[in-house]
Amino acid sequence: MPTSRAPAAAPKPPPGGEKAAAAPAAKSAPARALERLGLVRDIDLALHLPLRYEDETRLVPIAALRDGDSGQVEGTVRACELQARPRRQLVVRVADASGELALRFVHFHAGQQRQFEPGRRLRVRGEVRGGFLGREMVHPTVRAVEPGAPLPQALTPVYPTTAQLPQAYLRKAVASGLARASLAELVPAALLPPGLPTLAESLRLLHHPPPGAPLAALEDRTHPAWQRLKFDELLAQQLAQAEAQAERARLRAPALAPRPGALHDRLHAALPFALTAAQRRVVAEIERDLARGRPMHRLLQGDVGAGKTVVAALAAARAIDAGWQCALMAPTEILAEQHFRKLVGWLEPLGVQVAWLTGSRKGRARQAMLEALASGAAGLAVGTHAVIQREVEFARLGLAVVDEQHRFGVAQRLALRAKLAAQRLEPHLLMMSATPIPRTLAMTYFADLDVSTIDELPPGRTPVVTRLFADDKRAQVIERIRDELARGPGRQVYWVCPLIEEAEEGAGDRRRRGAALEEDRGVGAGDHGDVGGSRGRGRPLELQNATDTHAELSAALPGTMVGLLHGRMPAGEKAAVMSLFTGGTMRVLVATTVIEVGVDVPAASLMVIEHAERFGLAQLHQLRGRVGRGTEASVCVLLYSGPLSPPARERLRAMAETTDGFEIARRDLAIRGPGEFMGARQSGEALLRFADLEQDAALLEAARDLAPRLLREHPAAASAQVQRWLGAGAEFLKA
């Protein structure tokens, strides 16, 4: 076992040392593959841990192997023959004192044949089958050895790797990285959770477990050595978060203090409704932050329909009152437009110019918007990610509001901060989400975030009634639409079709996961393409579904205007359809999930979701939130086609049983696990490699408790810990 400095391994190990060495002229393919995996420093290699192990420490007599056993034997080659039938293959006969075994290779090369000269001694590992030739192994792992060669003293690690990086090369690179890396204990032992081995002990054990080590605990990652690794990782993550927080506390932001009788108060007075108590509370929390000269970094969470937009509008008014500008960014063009209309309706009568920026807005109109923002004439910019593009300059950006923030990736949040950091002051940041963040996530990826919660819906809402219908009841559902429309002019209907990826068609399981995956990918995928740019796959089927349904409903509902809305339509057309629907002329709207977030048409009282089993729970809840916004009692029909996978069944049951967004989030978490929650996997990617937020919640708590103390009492150790684990990746945590 490598306990001290080992000589460099045969393949040139990656540029060593804690700092990256000057790049040598030409790197081998495996060396480049190492780099792509992020295995650059010795410590990176040392922290590259095995997926599993192979036991080469023991030999089994051939005769002791039963059909289906895996094991290692050692024997002498008796014969090696090339067979032509039933297909070309190499058959090698090996014997030990107890019996004989056939090795069968369908893929082989000439060199291998030489390895199998009769008389050679081989160590052979694989799974035994009782073939018609007697015992045999197909494509076993084979190694030529000298008679009496000692067995390895440790289990053989199998590392996660890629095609260009052979396991043997990686093993040597990791072994030499492990031997050279500095693994000194950084945290005083007394501060660590009790019972954990040192990092060096843990890593040596995990890379090279001795024979008889508890394999199950190693492979399911519950062994104390794993606990230590996970704890260290979580601690590094908590420290990086705390550093980011401390750094933010040192930054300055414009102090947006209240001015009596100004825009803010006039907007407040002009609203057509009174704020709920919960809205008043969060407005106060936000305004307290804004008045301080430090950048706000606050998440506003509130169930669908809780009324987050007006809170954002009041914050924007505060910024404008103080002579600053506000930018509001939404993940889709449709949602951005909704915000735009609403904010224009509230603010323009009060003399505020509102600029509208999306990817599809070009030419003179766009130029005029850009000028209004650069000169400061426009107090507010509303749009998609177009708001954070390089050409967009603000005269005095003081507040950025990001709606449905979890749909934006870390990269976009970084871009936003970078734009704003161009001024000497940092802007305030308000993020809004209908999906509450689970506790463990709040403690990790979102630790640097203050949270305000609207836990009350505006008065007069009747909870939406949700009904499940099997797909063969479709005619009945259409009948229901007819009834709904007949009840009066103030009734409108959404019919939502799922996105279907072409590649998923026909593959039962993946198909069912389709929508959930769609959602997990967050911004940039599917119909949310407004943010992430275009994507070629999956369109034809998606449209097929929606256009078929559109034709079907148009035929079934003569005399009713039925519209169609999908992500592929030009923005102008989308806007035209939305305005017909918002205005009430169009009474039925068939749409893909473009309407998922934030669309607000209070007269919509019936929603049908087709293939509801394909949607994620959070997404279903978002969709359902499009109805029940007026005073009419609303209904949501979930059409599903079986057979349902158990998670799909759970999702539909949750939808039928509750309309409470927090309860939905709790169940979603239980079904999916926090790692996949809200696309956090994407944003937290590569940040937590080992720890599992659900399983390791206790370690997370311990790490969170230790982090501030370590920063206070052992700042050098704290920063070494972050460097060791995150290296260059630490920057991402500040997003």
What are the residues binding Mg ion (CB under 5 A)? Answer: 598
Q: Nearest approach, Cβ of 606 to ligand ADP (angstroms)?
A: 18
3-state secondary structure 588-633: EEEECHHHCCCCCCCCEEEEEECCHHHCCHHHHHHHHCCCCCCCCC
Q: Nearest approach, Cβ of 650 to ligand ADP (angstroms)?
A: 25
Amino acid identity at 600: D
| Residue pair 225/201 in contact by the 8 Å Cβ criterion | yes
- Whose tokens are 């659900």? That residue is 694
Backbone dihedral region for residue 563 (phi beyond 0: left; psi -120 to 50: alpha; all else: beta): beta
Site string for ligand ADP, 143-182 (x = CB under 6 A): ----------------------------------------
| Residue placing its CB nearer to ligand ADP in the complex, 209 or 305 | 305
Binding segment for ligand ADP (CB under 6 A), chosen from 170-178, 275-283, 463-471, 727-735, is 275-283
Among 37, 234, 275, 543, binds ligand ADP (CB under 6 A): 275
In the list ligand ADP, Mg ion, none, the entry touching 444 (Cβ below 5 to 8 angstroms by class) is none
In the list Mg ion, ligand ADP, none, the entry touching 30 (Cβ below 5 to 8 angstroms by class) is none
| Residue placing its CB nearer to ligand ADP in the complex, 14 or 598 | 598
| Residue pair 497/549 in contact by the 8 Å Cβ criterion | yes
Q: Nearest approach, Cβ of 276 to ligand ADP (angstroms)?
A: 5
| Residue placing its CB nearer to Mg ion in the complex, 13 or 598 | 598
Binding segment for ligand ADP (CB under 6 A), chosen from 262-270, 318-326, 577-585, 594-602, is 594-602
Q: How far apart are CA 590 and CA 554, in angstroms?
A: 10
Q: Which two tokens stand for residue 80?
A: 């090696």
Q: Does 308 bind ligand ADP (CB under 6 A)?
A: yes
Among 72, 161, 202, 309, binds ligand ADP (CB under 6 A): 309
Binding segment for ligand ADP (CB under 6 A), chosen from 91-99, 251-259, 505-513, 595-603, is 595-603
Q: How far apart are CA 285 and CA 427, in angstroms?
A: 17
| Residue pair 225/68 in contact by the 8 Å Cβ criterion | no
In the list ligand ADP, Mg ion, none, the entry touching 273 (Cβ below 5 to 8 angstroms by class) is ligand ADP
Distances (CA, A) of 680 to 143, 329, 441: 44, 19, 8
List the end-to-end C-alpha distance of the chain, in Å, as a whole number: 41
- DSSP label of 304: T
Peptide bond into 498 cis (omega under 30): no
Q: Is 360 exposed, middle or buried (0-12, 13-18, 19+ CB in 10 A)?
A: middle
| Residue placing its CB nearer to ligand ADP in the complex, 434 or 591 | 434
- DSSP label of 195: T
- DSSP label of 69: -
Distances (CA, A) of 55 to 51, 126, 179: 14, 11, 22
- Cβ atoms within 10 A of the Cβ of 4, count? 5
- DSSP label of 311: H
Among 13, 30, 305, 409, binds ligand ADP (CB under 6 A): 305
Site string for ligand ADP, 616-655 (x = CB under 6 A): -------------x--------------------------
Number of residues that bind ligand ADP (CB under 6 A): 18
Q: Are strands 70-83 and 89-95 parallel, antiparallel or unpaired?
A: antiparallel
| Residue pair 725/687 in contact by the 8 Å Cβ criterion | no
Among 302, 331, 383, 567, binds ligand ADP (CB under 6 A): 302
Q: Does 409 bind ligand ADP (CB under 6 A)?
A: no
| Residue placing its CB nearer to Mg ion in the complex, 218 or 601 | 601
Q: Nearest approach, Cβ of 431 to ligand ADP (angstroms)?
A: 13
Among 46, 80, 244, 310, binds ligand ADP (CB under 6 A): 310
Q: Does 307 bind ligand ADP (CB under 6 A)?
A: yes
- For the sheet with 588-591, list strands across it: 465-470, 635-640, 604-609, 492-496, 588-591, 562-565
Binding segment for ligand ADP (CB under 6 A), chosen from 167-175, 302-310, 669-677, 712-720, is 302-310
Residues 570-589 that bind ligand ADP (CB under 6 A): none
Q: How far apart are CA 693 and CA 698, in angstroms?
A: 9
Q: Nearest approach, Cβ of 595 to Mg ion (angstroms)?
A: 12
Binding segment for ligand ADP (CB under 6 A), chosen from 151-159, 298-306, 388-396, 657-665, is 298-306
Q: How far apart are CA 609 and CA 624, in angstroms?
A: 9
Residues 429-488 that bind ligand ADP (CB under 6 A): 434, 458
Among 279, 358, 492, 683, binds ligand ADP (CB under 6 A): 279
| Residue placing its CB nearer to ligand ADP in the complex, 17 or 345 | 345
**Cα atoms in the 13 Å half-sphere on the side-chain side of 391:** 12
In the list ligand ADP, Mg ion, none, the entry touching 328 (Cβ below 5 to 8 angstroms by class) is none
The dihedrals phi and psi of 361, each to the nearest 5 degrees, come to -85, 115
- Cβ atoms within 10 A of the Cβ of 547, count? 14
| Residue placing its CB nearer to ligand ADP in the complex, 100 or 600 | 600
| Residue placing its CB nearer to ligand ADP in the complex, 165 or 627 | 627
Helix, strand or coil for residue 356? Answer: strand
Q: Nearest approach, Cβ of 212 to Mg ion (angstroms)?
A: 59
| Residue pair 220/248 in contact by the 8 Å Cβ criterion | no
In the list ligand ADP, Mg ion, none, the entry touching 629 (Cβ below 5 to 8 angstroms by class) is ligand ADP
Q: Are strands 492-496 and 562-565 parallel, antiparallel or unpaired?
A: unpaired
**Cα atoms in the 13 Å half-sphere on the side-chain side of 528:** 23
Helix, strand or coil for residue 366? Answer: helix
- Cβ atoms within 10 A of the Cβ of 214, count? 10
Residues 215-274 that bind ligand ADP (CB under 6 A): 273
| Residue placing its CB nearer to ligand ADP in the complex, 167 or 631 | 631
Q: Does 598 bind ligand ADP (CB under 6 A)?
A: yes
| Residue placing its CB nearer to Mg ion in the complex, 241 or 433 | 433
Q: Which residue is nearest to ligand ADP (CB)?
A: 307
| Residue placing its CB nearer to ligand ADP in the complex, 403 or 504 | 403
In the list ligand ADP, Mg ion, none, the entry touching 302 (Cβ below 5 to 8 angstroms by class) is ligand ADP
| Residue placing its CB nearer to ligand ADP in the complex, 334 or 434 | 434
| Residue placing its CB nearer to ligand ADP in the complex, 244 or 275 | 275
The dihedrals phi and psi of 601, each to the nearest 5 degrees, come to -125, 95
| Residue placing its CB nearer to Mg ion in the complex, 343 or 612 | 343
The dihedrals phi and psi of 135, each to the nearest 5 degrees, come to -70, 140
Q: Does 369 bind ligand ADP (CB under 6 A)?
A: no
Binding segment for ligand ADP (CB under 6 A), chosen from 242-250, 300-308, 356-364, 407-415, is 300-308
Q: Nearest approach, Cβ of 314 to ligand ADP (angstroms)?
A: 11
Amino acid identity at 8: A
| Residue placing its CB nearer to Mg ion in the complex, 301 or 545 | 301
Using alpha carbons only, give the angle 403, 406, 411 rounded to the nearest 5 degrees: 100
Distances (CA, A) of 569 to 334, 474, 545, 576: 11, 27, 15, 11
Q: Nearest approach, Cβ of 283 to Mg ion (angstroms)?
A: 16
| Residue placing its CB nearer to ligand ADP in the complex, 508 or 583 | 583
The crossing angle, in degrees rounded to 10, of helices 263-270 and 309-321 is 150
Q: Nearest approach, Cβ of 554 to ligand ADP (angstroms)?
A: 29
- DSSP label of 588: E
Q: Which two tokens stand for residue 717?
A: 């150790």
Residues at the site binding ligand ADP, with contacts judged by CB under 6 A: 273, 275-276, 279, 302, 304-310, 434, 458, 598, 600, 602, 629
